[in-house]
A and B are shown apart, each in its own frame.
Chain A
Amino acid sequence: MTTALFYILGIILLAATLMCITRRNPVHAVIYLVAGFFALALMFYLLGAPLVAAWEVIVYAGAIMVLFLFIIMMLGLAPQEVPEGPGWQRWLPLALLSASLMACTLLLILEDPAAGQKVGGFYLAPQALGEALFGRYAMAVEMVSFQLLFATIGAYLLGRPLPKGEDQ
């Protein structure tokens, strides 16, 4: 059952990604990307990593998606004409993907809430992750902190106002 769900999620993920890279309208592409993120989150859950699944939603669907949207807003793309045909027809693929994702989630819950332990027979409890991260990999965590510091300063440098008297 969980193995079947895994493959179904794989198909949803592939379909969402294909739709994402073939859309002409970049905002539509981002929406399909988010559908893909949710499929990926469910996959991580199935593989026995519930915390990673939650991060996939919080960080990727929540934050990275905003970054994509702001890039689109910054590019100032030419306005797109709205294609012919009723609106529901344009959104049918996304509605189908979302509905199947929802069905997968419900199946996962109804069948066995602890299903995550089945595929691969591996389960990463958040507690175990915390113990590994802040015990064995303590140094790596501090290095990540430095990386984030560079990212903060890099983000500022990218968008800082030009100093006076400097062109481009």
Chain B
Amino acid sequence: MLDSYLPIITLIVIALCFSIGSVIFSRLIGEKKPTAIKLSPYECGMPPVGSARERFSIKFYIIAMLFIVFDIEVVFMYPWAVMFKRLGLFGFVEMGVFILILLVGYAYVWKKGALEWE
């Protein structure tokens, strides 16, 4: 039974070795000539414009809420997908109606421009 976990354990070990190893080796063999410019914080290669602790637009929040709605939709798809063949046409139609109702909401917010980012 443990064999089925072997790939993921191998992956975890490789990921750990790579992440810890690259930090240690770059510290050991990397050249360090720090200057004031090199040590200063930067954002996207530019000097920082101001504090990052500002109030953010509510648009982020709307996107997050819409994301959760469609996340929940996918949650219902997992138990449907594993039983897709057995549920047959009834299950297919039911999932179709489920998605259609959600598509109405999606079309509404799209039409209203909630997904626009100007």
Contact = CB atoms under 8 A, between A and B. Distances in A.
Nearest to A148: B69
Nearest to A149: B105
Interface of A is mostly: helix
B109 A148 contact: no
Interface string B60-99: 1110111111011101101111110011001100110110
A168 to B, nearest CB: 14
A75 interface: yes
B26 interface: no
Interface string A52-79: 0011001100111011001101111101
A133 B101 contact: no
A51 B78 contact: yes
A66 B56 contact: no
A52 B2 CA distance: 22
Contacts of A127: 79, 82-83, 86
Given A145-B102, A159-B114, A74 B61 contact: yes
B112 interface: yes
Interface residues of B, number: 49
Most chain-B CB neighbours within 10 Å: which of A64, A71, A133?
A133
A63 B72 CA distance: 10
Interface of B: 1-2, 4-5, 51, 53-62, 64-69, 71-73, 75-76, 78-83, 86-87, 90-91, 94-95, 97-98, 101-102, 104-106, 108-109, 112, 114
11 contacts: A59-B71, A71-B61, A74-B58, A109-B5, A130-B78, A134-B87, A134-B90, A141-B76, A148-B73, A149-B101, A155-B69
Given A59-B72, A113-B2, 17 more contacts: A54-B78, A74-B60, A109-B5, A112-B1, A113-B4, A126-B78, A127-B82, A130-B79, A135-B87, A142-B98, A144-B98, A145-B101, A146-B101, A151-B69, A151-B105, A153-B108, A155-B65
